[in-house]
Amino acid sequence: MNSAVATPFAPAPEKWECSLRLTNDPRAPRVARRTVRGAILDFALDAELADTAELLTSELVTNAVQHSDGPVLVRLGARRGVVRVCVWDNHPELPDPLPETTEDPFGRGLLLVERLADGWGRYPLAADGKVVWFELVPKNPWQGWI
């Protein structure tokens, strides 16, 4: 008697990427969160990493929507075990995290990125705007990878 063993997901490829173009709209962070979470889980990465990526993506896209007047681009990908999310907007000013001592209840998104990401940064674009990015490394480096 033959029996087949089914696996729910094939291993993720060593490198993958997806992009999302969002209108500058208050719903954009929600769409970005769902897209990033879904992609990470579909590529068989862990739920904790998906939670963190979802939160940090929401913070960056919210900032982009609030501080720019054009579309917001999100690029999510992984290579050699590192997940990277990049968020582009047309506002040229590079953001800095606020000091932790500030009493302002807003503007804490980059502090979260700084604390929770394994790496992050920002850079201007010569043509227009800037990119803010973060990287996350799965706790189990073999999960989701060939």
What are the backbone dihedrals phi and psi of residue 24, each rounded to the nearest 5 degrees, phi first?
-75, 95
Cβ-contact 78, 12 below 8 angstroms = yes
Residue 35 above 60 pLDDT? yes
Question: In the prediction, which pLDDT does 5 show?
Answer: 43
pLDDT above 60: residue 94: yes
Instruction: Let me know: does 4 contact 45? Beta carbons within 8 Å.
Output: no
Closest CA to 58 of 10, 80, 26: 26
pLDDT at 105 over 80: no
Residue 138 has pLDDT above 70, yes or no: yes
Specify the fold of 15-136: Heat Shock Protein 90 (3.30.565)
3-state secondary structure of 33: helix
Q: What is the pTM of this model?
A: 0.83
- Cα 54 from chain centre: 7
